Structure 1
Amino acid sequence: MDAKFRSELRFLDSWSRALRLHQWAKNFLVFVPLIAAHKVQHAELLMPAMLAFLCFGLAASSAYVLNDFLDLDADRKHPYKRDRPFAAGELSLAHGGVVAFVLSLTAMVIAAMSLPPAFVAVLAAYLALTTLYSAYLKRFALLDVLTLAGLYTLRIIGGGAAVDVPVSFWLLAFSIFLFLSLAVVKRVTELLAVRNAGDHSPAGRGYTVDDLPVMRSLGIASGYISVLVLALYINSPASQVLYRRPEVIWLLCPLLLYWISRVWLLASRDAMHDDPIVFAAFDRVSWIVLALGAAVAWTAS
């Protein structure tokens, strides 16, 4: 009985890792438009936002399974990706194909039945782009990180579409630069792992370990530009509409500068999770910075 129970637990753990349930933390980005527009207190908007969270979660899990299928050979040669459930032979490829199809179909059905057509279009674009990324775009240097930044930003656009809250130019500009920085962190972390394993280039990617200095510069610059966008927003007419004391928002700039600098410092020390957003979700310092940022925003309001 104990052996059967342990076997079932291992099976569930394998599926949990295959579906990347811990990566669902990224989907909290759908709530950003509500927060940015100061409409979190509108109870009637919370259900559509939560459904958007669910739809993106199902779609993302489907995409992760598809990505593992297409990356199977490369993952088996990778120092830590070889432990992924499909690469390690823990799960059936046939079952994975069925699950990926059912998850993406379920996400689209829920969206079509419960959310505005604009959200359905964004979700369809997300599924199409993530499929194109897994099948083709991830092989090309720079194009891959730009695509990842776009996929992060689509979650924010989708969140706005779900609750019929327009996503401002300022939020889009800020998001693109911040998420590009975080996407580059992901690649730098992967390149460091490859270098530590004694290899020169990750399989199926357009980078070599010689690209590390350039990638670090690109990622840090992009992160700092997102802070510049925030600083410019503070002096714009848009901030005057939402905040009674917009000058207080200047305090967000040093907080964000600190957080971005810390992320890159940890990445350079090879002490970063391979996904910085997941890292932030479980990092105590990131939560402290978030709490301080929320206090600043509340004071400015």
Structure 2
Amino acid sequence: MFVHFTQKVNHMLMVKVTGFKHFLKLFRMRQWSKNIFVFAGLLLALDSVDFIMVQQAVFAFFLFCGISSSVYMINDVVDIEKDRLHPVKRNRPLPSGQVKAAHAAIAAILLSATILFLSFRLNVYFGFTLSSYFLLNLLYSFKLKHYVFVDVIIISSGFVLRALSGILIAGAAISLWLLLSVAFLTLFLGVNKRKKELLLLKEDSTAHRKNLSQYSIGLINEMIPMLTSCTVITYSFFIIYESDSKHMIVTIPMVLYGIFRYQYLTNRTEYGESPELVLLRDKPTVLIMLLWAVMFGLNVMAL
């Protein structure tokens, strides 16, 4: 009898642990890497970076992680039926039935309310920026993602707001060149993602995302060179004219290589539909990011 009771308890624990793991997947923690743009503000304050500023930037980073996770949950609830038609997304907790949609919706509401409250406690301007990001993504989830070009512009705007929030936290002057480079880079990533979706879903693409029928491989291939050029030019202008350290000019070839590497991976592997996988799994990309971070650190110590 004791053995039977022990087995029953172990089974219940296993069910609870498994359910918790499925629930954690809703947070999409691997996509938190997108929030590194919050640290962009430190680029504009190299000569005045201190422990408190870094501490606030780290806190802002995790607040963005929290609010973006709540957005992912809401988007998954809205897209649950369409995700069941997707060869990859159908394995997510909601479309696969591992987590109930009602539970995800409640979690998203509680999480977003908590994060928004904490954001205003950290910095009022940061709170308004984070709120703008949240509202913009709500509009995206329910309506704007169905409009061609508007969808990738909204995604890009989310990254610009991340960078802007970091600048506000650092108390630095707003750099238009930096924000423009972030905008063009994320537009580049966004259209590459649409390209990969077209290649992966083929004739089922419109069933998953209505506006994919208005995109084409030819159109996207025409846009990519323009966005690549705009990204490198605006980042170069930022480094040359607005960066506190001219030594950061050596990072321009690093950015150029990173863009070329991403384009290569998009055409050769499955990474194109999930940009965060490049940041986490592709060794050359990780290496170039580490080199960039080393250069940034050396410039901070030199100032």
Equivalent position amino acid for 1:7 in 2: V
Compared CA separation, residues 296 and 24, structure 1 to 2 (3 A): closer
Q: 2:168 aligns with which of 137, 161, 164?
A: 161
Q: 1:283 to 1:95 in 2, by over 3 A?
A: same
Q: Shift of residue 146 of structure 1?
A: 0.7
Aligned to 1:34: 42
Match runs of 1:1-301 below 5 Å: 1-38=9-46, 41-113=49-121, 115-195=122-202, 199-208=204-213, 211-236=216-241, 238-239=242-243, 242-243=244-245, 246=246, 248-272=247-271, 274-297=273-296
C-alpha distance in 1 between matches for 2:215 and 2:35: 33
Larger Rg: 2
Q: Which amino acid aligns with 2:66?
A: L
- Taking only the aligned residue pairs, the percentage that are identical comes to 27
Give unpaired runs (5+ residues) of structure 2. Answer: 1-8
Structure 1 residue 66 displacement after superposition: 0.6
- Cα distance between partner residues in 2 of 1:221 and 1:281: 27
Whole-Å separation in 2 of the counterparts to 1:105 and 1:234: 37
Q: How far off its partner does 1:207 sit?
A: 1.5
Give the 3 Å change call, closer, same or farther, for CA 64–218 of structure 1 in structure 2. same
Structure having the higher helix fraction is 2
Structure 2-normalised TM-score? 0.88
- The change in CA–CA distance for 1:91 and 1:141 in structure 2 (over 3 A counts) is same
Greater Cα offset, 288-297 or 52-61: 288-297
Q: Is the 8 A contact 2:240 2:249 kept in 1?
A: no
Query: What is the CA-CA distance between 1:126 and the residue it aligns to?
Result: 0.5
Letter in 2 for 1:4: M
CA displacement 1:78-102 (0-9 Å, x = unmatched): 1111111111111112211110100
* CA pair 235-97 structure 1, distance change in 2 beyond 3 A: closer
Distance of aligned partners of 1:168 and 1:6 in 2 relative to their CA distance in 1, 3 Å threshold:
same
CA offset digits 1:30-49 (Å, max 9, x no partner): 11211342168401112321
TM-score by length of 1: 0.88
1:123 Cα offset (Å): 0.8
SS in 2 for 1:199: helix
Cα distance in 1 for residues equivalent to 2:47 and 2:273: 33
Q: Unpaired runs of 5+ in structure 1?
A: none
CA contact (8 A) 2:146 2:210 kept: yes
Give the Cα separation in 2 of the matches to 1:280 and 1:148.
Answer: 18
Q: Structure 1's 200 and 104: CA in aligned 2 closer, same or farther, altered over 3 A?
A: closer
The answer on whether the counterparts of 2:83 and 2:89 sit within 8 Å (CA) in structure 1 is yes
Q: CA RMSD in A?
A: 2.2
